[in-house]
Copies of this chain bind each other. A is one copy, B any other.
Amino acid sequence: MLAKIHITLKKDVLDPQGKVIANSLSNLGFEGIQSVRQGKYIEIMLDGNDKNTATNKLNEMCEKLLANLVIEDYSVEID
């Protein structure tokens, strides 16, 4: 089972890395960029076929290790 996890900074948290990307793109001549936010994308291959169990396990992984819930949101999706 392939799980896809997105971890993004919460809306109100400043994203300096995103700002740097936006500035670099502007410097390269790209126009019309309003904002850039950078997050993490994690793919986890899991044993088993039960999506509910897996989703619960993945949420727990995000809360315990993968995401910093003070400043980050996460979403879990299973293929």
Binding site for B on A (CB under 8 A): 6-8, 18, 21, 24-25, 28, 30-48, 57, 60-61, 64-66
Q: Once the chains bind, are A48 and B32 in contact (CB under 8 Å)? A: yes
Provide a sorted-by-A list of 5 A–B residue pairs whose CB atoms are within 8 angstroms.
A21-B65, A25-B61, A32-B48, A35-B45, A38-B42
Instruction: Write the chain B residue with the least CB distance to A27.
Output: B65
Instruction: Write the chain B residue with the least CB distance to A22.
Output: B44
Provide the residues of chain B in CB contact with A6, threshold 8 Å. Answer: 41
Q: In the complex the two chains form, what is the Cα distance from A43 to B28 in whole Å?
A: 18
Q: In the complex the two chains form, what is the Cα distance from A43 to B11 in whole Å?
A: 12
**Leading 10 A-B pairs by shortest Cβ distance:** A32-B47, A34-B45, A41-B41, A39-B41, A37-B43, A35-B45, A36-B44, A38-B42, A32-B46, A6-B41
